[in-house]
Amino acid sequence: MTGFDRRKALTLGAGALGALALGVTPAQAATWKLRWNPDPAKDGLKAFEGLEDDRAGTHPVQHIFAESNQWRFLMHTRDRDTMTDRQRNEVRGMRSGGAAVPIKLNETWRLEYQAYWPSALTATTAFTHIMQMKVSGVDAPVWTLTPRMKGSTGRLTIAGDSASEVDLTDYAPLQNKWIDVMFEFKASHSGTLRCVIKNGSATVVDRKWNANLWRDTAYLRPKWGIYRSLNSSGLKDCYQLIRNYKGYQLV
């Protein structure tokens, strides 16, 4: 059982006790339902709605693939996107049993996974997104997870599609090891977003804030991989590893 799983069990237990105090049976209380838990060996890239691997065809090798118990996302300095000032090798959306798993208006979700960020996946002065929450049919992200160079220090940040950016923690201590990442959020114009990051047994980030997490369109879908601007110096060939994806909906 992971740290997130233990916390979830305690939260559900407290929720059931609170429900009884209000005269609601535990069966009627809201619970977290596991909606997405892909297996790299079984599902491979079919775990996702779509693939954005070298869209411009500038480097004809496979940049995104499943291996053993993880997914690997490669990025080379020679890679180019169809927008030639940037690079993009990402997956988008969740798929289970061959069907898309959309995040709809006013739904509350929790996404959990483990990420490995090597030293070569550097913090940059321009954008380097290693996770995005996007809206189907809309270009601007609802939020991004971005290692950003600020002065001489790399910071892991959350940024929305406005000028606001939330500093989470120093990036370097999280590199070259497996890190637990969790986003809990309500998909609403008056939404909330919570981000928890654990380095082993230590919780290094647990932040929650209000945010506009909806656009008037079909649904939200997460993206993972590497999406970075070429307008930063010191870019390197690099990769990101991700394993143990889980998507829970509060029902």
pLDDT at 8: 54
Q: Do 26 and 39 belong to one domain?
A: no
Q: At residue 75, what are phi and psi to the nearest 5 degrees?
A: -140, 130
pLDDT at 11 over 80: no
pLDDT at 98: 94
pLDDT at 233: 87
Domain span including residue 125 = 33-250
pLDDT at 168 over 70: yes
* Dist CA 182 CA 197 (whole Å): 6
For the chain, the 3-state helix, strand and coil shares in percent, each to the nearest 5, are 15, 50, 35
Q: Do 25 and 38 belong to one domain?
A: no
Q: Do 37 and 26 belong to one domain?
A: no
Q: What's the mean pLDDT in 168-188?
A: 98
Contact 124/146 with Cβ under 8 angstroms? Answer: no
pLDDT at 163: 52
pLDDT at 18 over 70: no
pLDDT at 21 over 60: no
Q: Place 139 in a pLDDT band, splitting at 50, 70 and 90.
A: confident
Q: Do 141 and 195 belong to one domain?
A: yes
Q: Do 134 and 12 belong to one domain?
A: no
Q: In the 8-state DSSP scheme, what is residue 84?
A: T
pLDDT at 130: 98
pLDDT at 40 over 50: yes
Q: Place 234 in a pLDDT band, splitting at 50, 70 and 90.
A: confident
pLDDT at 135: 87
Q: Do 129 and 23 belong to one domain?
A: no
Q: Do 24 and 74 belong to one domain?
A: no
pLDDT at 149 over 70: yes
Q: Do 81 and 117 belong to one domain?
A: yes
Contact 117/169 with Cβ under 8 angstroms? Answer: no
Helices and strands in the chain: count of H runs, count of E runs? 2, 17
* Best CA proximity match to 109, nearest among 191, 38, 164, 39: 191
In the chain, % of residues over pLDDT 90 = 81
pLDDT at 58: 94
What sign results for the dihedral spanned by CA atoms 55, 56, 57, 61? negative
Q: Which long-range contacts (CB under 8 A, 24 or more apart) does 139-145 make?
A: 141/223, 142/211, 142/212, 142/213, 142/214, 142/215, 142/220, 143/193, 143/211, 143/213, 145/181
Name the average pLDDT for the chain. Answer: 90
Domain count, the chain: 2
Calculate the alpha carbon distances from 182 to 7, 47, 149 in Å: 12, 19, 22
Q: Place 161 in a pLDDT band, splitting at 50, 70 and 90.
A: low
Q: Do 127 and 212 belong to one domain?
A: yes
CATH number, domain at 231? 2.60.120.200
pLDDT at 9 over 90: no
* Dist CA 74 CA 239 (whole Å): 4
Beta strands in 94-214 (DSSP E): 95-96, 99-100, 108-116, 128-135, 138-150, 153-160, 165-170, 178-186, 191-199, 202-211
Q: Do 79 and 25 belong to one domain?
A: no
Q: Do 160 and 215 belong to one domain?
A: yes
Q: Do 65 and 2 belong to one domain?
A: no
Q: Place 17 in a pLDDT band, splitting at 50, 70 and 90.
A: very low
* Best CA proximity match to 109, nearest among 39, 34, 37: 34
DSSP assignment of 33-46? EEEE---HHHHGGG
Single-letter amino acid code for the residue at 176: N
